[in-house]
């Protein structure tokens, strides 16, 4: 077929087994996530908007808050480093490890570390570096890439994992019972935690007022990774800063619910310094590496709202394109709607190569509706399509996607289409007389369109707010 986009190629080539795992894993728990917000709060949208405005405020004053976070951390005996690029970050971390004589460490799941491909680099440089999150551990054993922000092995089933364990010597015999798999990993990783000299983590939030890093896991791996070791290194994207500890209440309540339908993730750690003098366990040295790696380019772009992202994975779970194509189809650390916006700008030099991602969306708006920080992902995708057009980035797939592109570049046409899409739920659109649309639909099952309910909601909300005399 002429002009097929890389992401469509992935969707076409994905094995049935892998696709079944991804569809099952992303749709599972959707209701639970929805209810955990709606049962607990009369107006979850008010909290999403609040979170968005706290993030926007911080991003618009990032210099101030980052400097403040640095000052707070330094005052508590934490060494603060900065890394402009992925290479800077890798070298900085390696230098810290060498300084402390570290040859073995465990690492708890961090998207920032994924982004700079830290593991293979450290291993090449003679440092044994083991992922401790169960999913990431399996990814590492397989030499694979995570395909979901929260559920890295969403694309694998228990049989794949049981085979890996035998092949890699984690287990002596094949057993695909999930509980047995988990127990085997427990035993294997404990020994590694105890042998390690350092723990590497990311951070979900950094409070500028006290420097406190908030770190969440369900498994307790980051907590374990840091209990027996002397050195803690946290690799943190500069956009993770929030103004004050008080704001944590807003973000933590949203993050657990949006990611997994939990009010709080099991382990929420708050760290702003080496262990207390009276505590026998825990790091004596703490380093925080603040990393840019393209974030300031995103901040300078007209898609800066994507930096609000708290990496909950909700947009991936609801996205019909993600479900069909899998996270790997996005060919970068961040898959799904968030990745379709973030990756082409964050990894700016790869823009032409990733320019198909913003087009791989039906703009159904589901991602925006579930996003806990209210990122207008469909709008951002349009801005990126526009950028590609302006920069005349040649990309496959321009023809098949063109009906969408036409709709998408005209707000009034788009509104009409969104309203009509509700009617389309009842029409056999597979037989609509648009050839490229048929090709495209041939590979996908569309979810029922909600017909732009969120847009409507937003409008009423703005009108109400205007009546009440406040800015929306």
Partner 1 sequence: MSRAAIFAKIESATAMVKAKAAYPEYDLSIVHSQPRLQGADLWEIFTRNFSAVNGRAMTSVAELLDFLKQSSQLHGYCDPLLYDDIGAQLAAAGLVVETEYHRDRYDDYQFGITRASGAIAESGTVIIDDDRTSHRLAALSPWVHIAVLSRGEIHRSIPDAIAAFGESPNIIWCTGPSKTADVEGILIEGVHGPGEQIALVI
Region binding ligand SF4 by CB under 6 A among candidate stretches 48-56, 306-314, 447-455, 460-468: 306-314
Of the pair 111, 405, the CB lying nearest ligand SF4 is at 111
SS (H, E, C) the chain: CCCCCHHHHHHHHCCHHHHHHHHHHHHCCHHHHHHHHHCCCCCHHHHHHHHHHHHHHHHHCHHHHHHHHHHHHHHCCCEEEEECCHHHHHHHHHHHHHHCCCCEEEECCCHHHHHCCHHHHHHHCCCEEEECCHHHHHHHHHCCCCCCCCCCCCCCCHHHHHHHHHHCCCCCCCCCCHHHHHHHHHHHHHHHHHHCCEEEECCCEEECCCCCEEEEECCCHHHHHHCCCCEEEEEEEHHHEECCHHHHHHHHHHHHHHHHCCCCCCEEEEECCCCCCCCCCCCCEEEEEEECCCHHHHHHCCCHHHHHCCCCCHHHHHCHHHHHHCHHHHCCCCCHHHHHHHHHHHCHHHHHHHCCHHHCCCCCCHHHHHCCCCCCHHHHHHHHHHHHHHCCCCCCCHHHHHHHHHHHHCHHHHHHHHHHHHHHCCCCHHHCCCHHHHHHHCCCCCCCCCCCHHHHHHHHHHHHHHHCCCCC
Here's the x/- map for ligand SF4, 137-176, by CB under 6 A: it reads as ------------x---------------------------
Here's the x/- map for ligand SF4, 371-400, by CB under 6 A: it reads as xxx-x-------------------------
Here's the x/- map for partner 1, 342-381, by CB under 8 A: it reads as ----------------------------------------
Of the pair 6, 372, the CB lying nearest ligand SF4 is at 372
Q: What is the C-alpha to C-alpha distance for residues 424 and 408, in angstroms, rounded to an integer?
A: 17
Of the pair 152, 283, the CB lying nearest ligand SF4 is at 152
Least gap, CB of 149 to ligand SF4 (angstroms): 6
Copy the structure tokens of residue 277.
């003098």
Region binding ligand SF4 by CB under 6 A among candidate stretches 183-191, 201-209, 243-251, 365-373: 365-373
**Greatest extent of the chain over all pairs of C-alpha atoms, in Å:** 74
Here's the x/- map for partner 1, 158-187, by CB under 8 A: it reads as x--x----------------xx-xxx-xx-
Which among 140, 138, 111 is positioned nearest to 128, based on CA atoms?
Answer: 140
Which one among 7, 14, 22, 66 touches partner 1, defined by CB under 8 A? Answer: 66
Of the pair 264, 420, the CB lying nearest partner 1 is at 264
**Residue pair 90/118 in contact by the 8 Å Cβ criterion:** yes
Of the pair 370, 388, the CB lying nearest ligand SF4 is at 370
Site for partner 1 in 280-339 (CB under 8 A): 280-282, 290, 292, 296-297, 299-300, 304
Q: What is the C-alpha to C-alpha distance for residues 324 and 319, in angstroms, rounded to an integer?
A: 9
Here's the x/- map for partner 1, 21-50, by CB under 8 A: it reads as x--xx--xx---------xxxx---xx--x
264 binds partner 1 (CB under 8 A): yes
**Residue pair 193/224 in contact by the 8 Å Cβ criterion:** yes
Least gap, CB of 313 to ligand SF4 (angstroms): 5
Which one among 313, 344, 365, 451 touches ligand SF4, defined by CB under 6 A? Answer: 313
Here's the x/- map for partner 1, 101-140, by CB under 8 A: it reads as -------------------------------xxxx--x--
**Residue pair 382/340 in contact by the 8 Å Cβ criterion:** no
Which among 334, 295, 311, 299 is positioned nearest to 146, based on CA atoms?
Answer: 334
Of the pair 121, 290, the CB lying nearest partner 1 is at 290
Q: Mention every residue, 6+ apart, whose C-beta is less than 8 A from residue 226.
A: 199, 201, 232, 282, 283
Least gap, CB of 7 to ligand SF4 (angstroms): 17
Here's the x/- map for partner 1, 197-226, by CB under 8 A: it reads as -------------x-x-----xxxx-xx--
Of the pair 234, 314, the CB lying nearest ligand SF4 is at 314
263 binds partner 1 (CB under 8 A): yes
Least gap, CB of 246 to partner 1 (angstroms): 7
Which one among 5, 265, 317, 361 touches partner 1, defined by CB under 8 A? Answer: 265
Which one among 89, 198, 248, 312 touches ligand SF4, defined by CB under 6 A? Answer: 312
Residue 30 touches which of ligand SF4, partner 1, none (CB < 5 to 8 A by kind)? none
Site for ligand SF4 in 219-278 (CB under 6 A): 258
Residue 46 touches which of partner 1, ligand SF4, none (CB < 5 to 8 A by kind)? partner 1
Which one among 260, 326, 332, 449 touches partner 1, defined by CB under 8 A? Answer: 260
Write out the residues near ligand SF4 by the rule CB under 6 A. 149, 258, 309-315, 338, 370-373, 375
């Amino acid at each position: 077929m002429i002009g097929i986009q890389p992401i469509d190629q992935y969707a076409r080539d994905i094995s049935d087994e892998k696709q079944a795992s991804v569809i099952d894993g992303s749709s599972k728990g959707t209701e639970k996530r929805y209810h955990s917000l709606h049962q607990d709060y009369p107006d979850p949208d008010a909290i999403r908007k609040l979170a968005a405005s706290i993030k926007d405020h911080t991003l618009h004053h990032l210099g101030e808050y980052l400097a403040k976070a640095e000052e707070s951390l330094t005052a508590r005996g934490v060494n603060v480093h900065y890394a402009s690029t992925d290479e800077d970050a890798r070298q900085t971390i390696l230098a810290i490890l060498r300084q402390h004589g570290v040859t073995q460490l465990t690492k708890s799941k961090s998207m920032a570390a994924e982004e700079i491909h830290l593991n293979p680099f450290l291993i090449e440089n003679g440092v044994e570096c083991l992922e401790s999150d169960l999913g990431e551990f399996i990814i590492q054993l397989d030499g694979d890439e995570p395909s979901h922000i929260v559920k890295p092995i969403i694309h694998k089933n228990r049989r794949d994992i049981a085979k890996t364990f035998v092949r890699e010597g984690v287990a002596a015999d094949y057993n695909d019972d999930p509980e047995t798999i988990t127990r085997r990993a427990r035993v294997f990783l404990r020994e590694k935690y105890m042998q390690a000299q350092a723990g590497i983590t990311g951070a979900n939030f950094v409070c500028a007022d006290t420097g406190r890093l908030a770190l969440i896991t369900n498994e307790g791996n980051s907590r374990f990774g840091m209990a027996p070791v002397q050195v803690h290194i946290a690799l943190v994207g500069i956009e993770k800063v929030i103004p004050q500890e008080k704001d944590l209440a807003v973000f933590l309540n949203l993050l657990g619910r949006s990611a997994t339908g939990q009010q709080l993730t099991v382990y929420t750690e708050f760290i702003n310094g080496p262990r207390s003098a009276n505590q026998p366990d825990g790091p004596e040295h703490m380093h925080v590496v603040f990393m840019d790696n393209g974030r300031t380019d995103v901040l300078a772009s007209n898609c800066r709202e994507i930096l609000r992202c708290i990496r909950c994975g909700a947009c991936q779970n609801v996205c019909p394109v993600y479900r069909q194509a899998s996270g790997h189809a996005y060919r970068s650390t961040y898959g799904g709607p968030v990745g379709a916006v973030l990756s082409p700008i964050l990894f700016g030099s790869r823009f032409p190569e990733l320019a198909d991602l913003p087009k791989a969306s039906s703009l159904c708006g589901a991602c925006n509706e579930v996003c806990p920080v209210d990122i207008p992902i469909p709008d951002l995708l349009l801005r990126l399509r526009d950028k590609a057009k302006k920069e005349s980035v040649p990309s496959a797939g321009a023809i098949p996607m063109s009906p969408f592109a036409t709709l998408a570049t005209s707000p009034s046409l788009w509104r009409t289409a969104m309203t009509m899409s509700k009617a389309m739920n009842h029409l056999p659109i597979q037989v609509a007389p648009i050839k490229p649309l048929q090709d495209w639909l041939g590979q996908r099952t569309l979810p029922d369109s909600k017909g732009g309910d969120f847009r409507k909601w937003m409008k009423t909300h703005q009108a109400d707010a205007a009546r009440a005399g406040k800015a929306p």
